[in-house]
Structures are given as structure tokens and as C-alpha cells.
Amino acid sequence: MFRTMKKAFSLLELLVVILILGILAAFVAPNLIGAGEKAKRDLVCSQMSNISQALKMFKLDNGMYPDTEEGLKALLQNPDREKYPNYSSHPYIEKMPKDSWGNTFTYLKTDGGFELVSFGADRKEGGEDEGADIYFSRCGK
């Protein structure tokens, strides 16, 4: 008589497979967890670079950067026709981008130029880790 043999995994084989998967996850997971936040921060720096180019074009036409009070809105429409008589006939930027967390960028005119700031994931000034502020002057460093 023929005996039919059932093939199945033993408990020991299953435990070995689970152990191997656990070890792989322990090595791969830490690298994947921080990748999303880094990508968001890199996107913010890229957006700031685009805004920076628009600000430089503004300065080329008008001889100065917009005042802090005028802000980035000065890239969308002329804030003062007398102050900026050489303002371009079209906006310097079509639409103001928002950072990776849906917030507007903060613009500050400095003595020699400007600074762009994103308040990060916590949407508040200051912060640490994922909530830390992102400054254009520190992007790429």
C-alpha cells in the first residue's frame, strides 16, 4: 500500500525564517524611517532655491531686495510702483510654493541679502530634529 506523505514546514523551520526576517528588518528599518523626513527637508531646500532665483531677478530689475515687510508677496505683484519703477511686467514667480508641511516660507531682508526660513514639521519657530527650522543659508551644508 502506498502511504501519502504530507509535506509541511516544521516549527523549527518557521522559527528560523522568522528570525532571518527579523534580522533583515532590524538592518533595513532604521534607514527607511529617516528617509521620508530627509526627502521633505531636501524638497524645502529646492523650493527655497527657486524662490532665491526669483529674488535675485527682482534685485537685478529693482536694485534691491524687497523689504521684510513687503515679503515674498513682492515677487507676485509690485508692492510700490514709485519704489520699484523697473518692476517686471510679469510676476517673478507664478505661484508661491509652500513647504513640505503646507506652510508659507518666511522671508527676512538682511544687510547683504536675504534669508528664507521654513519652520519645519512642528510649524513653530525653533524646534529640534524633524521640527527644526530650515534656513536657506544652511541648505546643502
| Within a domain: 52 | yes
| Within a domain: 4 | no
Q: Are strands 134-135 and 114-118 parallel, antiparallel or unpaired?
A: antiparallel
Q: The domain containing residue 50 runs over which residues?
A: 38-138
C-alpha cell at 13: 523551520
| Within a domain: 14 | no
| Within a domain: 23 | no
Low-confidence ranges of the chain (pLDDT < 70): 1-6, 8, 33-34, 141
Split into its structural domains, the chain has a count of 1
CATH of the domain at 77: 3.30.700.10
| Within a domain: 5 | no
Angle at 39 between CA 104 and CA 47, to 5 degrees: 35
| Within a domain: 27 | no
pLDDT in tens, 48-59: 999 999 999 999
Residue of 35, 57, 38 whose CA lies nearest to 46: 38
pLDDT in tens, 102-112: 999 999 999 98
What letter represents residue 66's amino acid? P
Say if residues 52 and 93 touch (Cβ distance below 8 Å): no
